[in-house]
Homo-oligomer: A and B are copies of this chain.
């Protein structure tokens, strides 16, 4: 049965292939986006590697190629009336929420960028929760959180909740969070607000604490260049593996921050789409905030860089690693054991990282190497001003 799927942030790196995937299988899809990412790109003079048309051009291309319509709804989640109107009009079964400022470095530029990130993300999601309560209480919210909410505690990271025995009694809490940037904090704030909306108002939600996504295409985006997703390699919006591949193709050193022992969870862009689909197809119960850790493998930054280096050398590119002073304030060696079994139990078939994927990515990047802006690769955004770290 076709569902009504509203993809918030559907113009972005993850939102676009997600919208295409649901549309491809016959769901009725709308993309709600304020197109702000394009403004941030202009502000910081960065651009996606592959050419990206306007949202209308992308939707026309999809209509032409697939014969399917995706409805655009352009507006801002921080505009309360707009959010209420959008839910009232589209009546979504599922709301997939990527509609936030997604970059930790962007949030750490200065006070204004931090305040913008937290106000934008938290208030947008807050308006959404109130609108769900008042005009669409049956909708299932599928919200993209991040593994970065947890930080790197010295104990195992569970999927969202932690049962604590203390002084002879027991209680199950939201897993306590120790996030590492103003962006990651905004996601922690969201999680608390969503938890409240499920506890107090009986809404249904799934929070997907996602790892770092890599990859350049999905089954749908690969159909036509006009369906490409906005693959970033700059220091602001680019993720680790994607950046390393572009550095290798550009012939610049692959930059590892500090010792490179920082361990994180990673997943293929295709698995992001698969996980979100699985979560949508098995909605949370009313009153429940279900939380999944959404990644398939963990790597240290150094391991990732070495894999890209090996793949590049194998293709005849003269790649080399370089350790750079870490602009972030974070542990570079730490315990890390996060669980991630719930999505596997729902049926996820992971695309694990292989040299073959890196080869394919490198090939795709080589085809667009003339678009690589070297200045975007290192933009020197620091977690703490020099005075503070001295």
Q: Closest 10 A-B residue pairs measured CB to CB?
A: A111-B130, A173-B176, A154-B171, A189-B189, A155-B166, A155-B171, A176-B176, A153-B171, A155-B169, A200-B329
Whether the Cβ atoms of A114 and B137 lie closer than 8 Å is no
Binary contact track A173-184/B, C-beta < 8 Å → 1, others 0:
111111110100
- Measured between beta carbons, the chain B residues less than 8 angstroms from A171 are 153-155
Whether the Cβ atoms of B130 and A110 lie closer than 8 Å is yes
Whether the Cβ atoms of A164 and B167 lie closer than 8 Å is no
- Measured between beta carbons, the chain B residues less than 8 angstroms from A153 are 171, 173
Whether the Cβ atoms of B173 and A174 lie closer than 8 Å is no
Taking the complex as formed, is A188 at the interface, i.e. its CB lies under 8 A from any CB of chain B?
Answer: yes
Taking the complex as formed, is A127 at the interface, i.e. its CB lies under 8 A from any CB of chain B?
Answer: yes
Taking the complex as formed, is A288 at the interface, i.e. its CB lies under 8 A from any CB of chain B?
Answer: no
Question: Given the complex of chains A and B, what is the CA–CA distance between A303 and B112 in angstroms?
Answer: 47
Taking the complex as formed, is A156 at the interface, i.e. its CB lies under 8 A from any CB of chain B?
Answer: yes
Given A156-B167, A166-B155, A169-B154, also A385-B126 (CB < 8 A): no
Q: How many copies does the complex hold?
A: 2
Question: Given the complex of chains A and B, what is the CA–CA distance between A130 and B167 in angstroms?
Answer: 38
Question: Given the complex of chains A and B, what is the CA–CA distance between A202 and B387 in angstroms?
Answer: 11
In chain B, what residue has the closest Cβ to A152? B171
Q: Which of A115-123, A223-231, A267-275 contacts B (4 or more CB under 8 A)?
A: A115-123
Q: How far is the CB of A143 from chain B (nearest CB, A)?
A: 16
Whether the Cβ atoms of A170 and B154 lie closer than 8 Å is yes
In chain B, what residue has the closest Cβ to A173? B176
Given A170-B155, A175-B176, also A385-B134 (CB < 8 A): yes
- Measured between beta carbons, the chain B residues less than 8 angstroms from A111 are 80, 84, 126-127, 130-131, 134
Question: Given the complex of chains A and B, what is the CA–CA distance between A154 and B201 in angstroms?
Answer: 21
Taking the complex as formed, is A196 at the interface, i.e. its CB lies under 8 A from any CB of chain B?
Answer: yes
Q: Which of B80, B134, B169 contacts A115 (CB 8 A)?
A: B80
Given A111-B127, A201-B384, also A122-B133 (CB < 8 A): no
Taking the complex as formed, is A185 at the interface, i.e. its CB lies under 8 A from any CB of chain B?
Answer: yes
In chain B, what residue has the closest Cβ to A203? B388
Q: How far is the CB of A82 from chain B (nearest CB, A)?
A: 12
Taking the complex as formed, is A335 at the interface, i.e. its CB lies under 8 A from any CB of chain B?
Answer: yes
- Looking at A111, A165, A174, the one whose CB has the most chain B CB atoms below 10 A away is A111
- Measured between beta carbons, the chain B residues less than 8 angstroms from A385 are 133-134
- Measured between beta carbons, the chain B residues less than 8 angstroms from A195 are 178
